[in-house]
Structure 1
């Protein structure tokens, strides 16, 4: 059983995507970041960076005590290794998955997040910051579009944790002033993942936790 400490953000969606695809049993513990619940001492014990998501695996594969993890990329990698799913088992295939997972963690996520902040949440509209992050988001969409020109999924023919990490950020493209029609390969990939039954179930979890969440 996986305890999932979660809110309805792109990083939170990554983990429900995996859990639904893999069929792992899990229990959701909502952490409402709008109410600053991420700063509660009990949550900080498992996520010292006061960010969701975090998990506690009550039955780790080594048979030992429950293990807790924070950081969405680390959680995806842990779950992929635990189950042997959604990550290639050969050296080259594995590295393809990992480099695109890290591309999302180090590039797309932070840049799109800053895009969200300066275009939607900042108390002062700063044209330089807004343009900078919209332009950088567009550049990253272009990188992804070129990558998907000759393959079904980011790391090749098989759906992987790299796709799961990227999809929830692309799902927020309207927030980022991006038009998927400008990135036809991304659009095709996005629509294919959106239609997966596990994706539908994962986003239904979000609606139960936080009705109206994007």
Structure 2
């Protein structure tokens, strides 16, 4: 069963999803009145949500004068990767031990939304559905402190860059199916392994892409100068 959330928590989760999905790109200024109007709420929960996100590292700046989406720090990614694996495998282990038929139905719907958005070519919607799938799966574990720390790590992780890689969303959908199958079977070891492989696959693909770009850049410069 999902826990009750305050308005500021609901706004914060909406913005987390928006930042991770790329709806609010890095460096974007978040305007309180626009967000309040979009969500049909007052300024107060938006302001408080931005304070939460600033504490977690999703945004920078003063919540009264304005906040901007925090830039990506590639130097911190390897450390964040290790911490994500450590904490998220524990969350999925807890989820495998507590998951109900109702939870499975909800996760299947979220996984289907992710795949459908990809097939429709709506990558932003796919990234948003990806966030909802992982967040809901980890909620099942009933380990709110661990989930809180994971959300802080997500603020520092390049989901938007990873999910733009060619074919990555399709591969991620297949990886979600493996995680979900392990949960349905109640196999915590398989669920932990599938989660670890899922996290590592995305990061390794990004690292390979960055390496290719680094090699290509000097070559392009040489051709321009000749």
Shorter-chain TM-score tier: under 0.3
- Larger helix share, 1 or 2: 2
Normalization by structure 1: what TM-score? 0.27
The normalised TM-score by structure 2 is 0.26
